[in-house]
Amino acid sequence: MKYFVLAFLLLVYSSADAGFFFKIAVDNSSYSSFVLKSLKNTEIHTHFIIQKIKENYFDISSVDKNYYQVSIKRGVSLFNKKLLLYELTPTFSDRFKHVIWVTDDNIVVRKEVYNLDNKLMLSYGYVDELPKMEKGPPAALNKGAGCDRSLSFRGFELSGCKSIDKNTKHLVFSDGLNKFSVFVDKDVEVKNIRKKVIMGNYVYRRSLAGHTYTVVGSVPFKIMKDVITYINNKEEKHENNE
């Protein structure tokens, strides 16, 4: 749970005020749903979840079309405003499907995310009017010291990294749409592989070669397993070359 919260804090951003709804898969079998008149004065736990799952902007040019089949519907109407509706279906079975409603200036009005079984993982959007927002870039982790810029996995590029403490680092991968965090911990070892759905994200944890890896994000468990092996092999190669 610690790494899940950290991933929320470091991966995403948001700010706006308008009537808002969200529905999110709490675990494998249940959902939480809310409709709020405003994001102001919201119960702190609910406010935290909303602020960390929603994104204000979506730019289709940031998505690698090699990994998605893109369907675009124009002229969809909501709140008396014409919108673009994007349906982005993975070409391969290695990431989640997104359905996104945006304005002409790329403000996200509604969004839905589905896993490979077409199970809704999360959805959110405005219910009565659009918020007033000034367009700006999303927050991102800096590729600072210790970031291996050669790390790239099936279209997911390393978008940032951060040392949490002397034994733990946090890597963030994104393909412009789906993203996931990888926490590499040299101080903890688990005996069993752990797989969960927590607050709209898949969470996969296992130990390999003395390191414990926790992956949090919107990719299937098999891909989480594969990316752990990939990163571990990279680290072993690096250590052998030192």
Q: What confidence tens digit (pLDDT) does each residue in 168-210 have?
A: 999 999 999 999 999 999 878 899 999 999 989 999 999 999 9
Tell me the pLDDT tens digit for each residue of 82-124: 999 999 999 999 999 999 999 988 989 999 999 999 999 999 9
Question: Which CATH class name applies to 152-241?
Answer: alpha beta
**Every domain of the chain and the residues it spans:** 13-126, 152-241
Q: Tell me how far CA of residue 62 lies from CA of 6, 66, 174, in angstroms.
A: 24, 12, 10
Percent of the chain with pLDDT over 70: 77
Kindly report the pTM of this predicted structure.
0.83
Please name the residues in contact with 132: beta carbons below 8 A apart, sequence gap of 6 or more. 16
Between helix 2-11 and helix 44-53 the angle, nearest 10°, is 60
Half-sphere exposure of 174 (CA within 13 A, CB side): 15
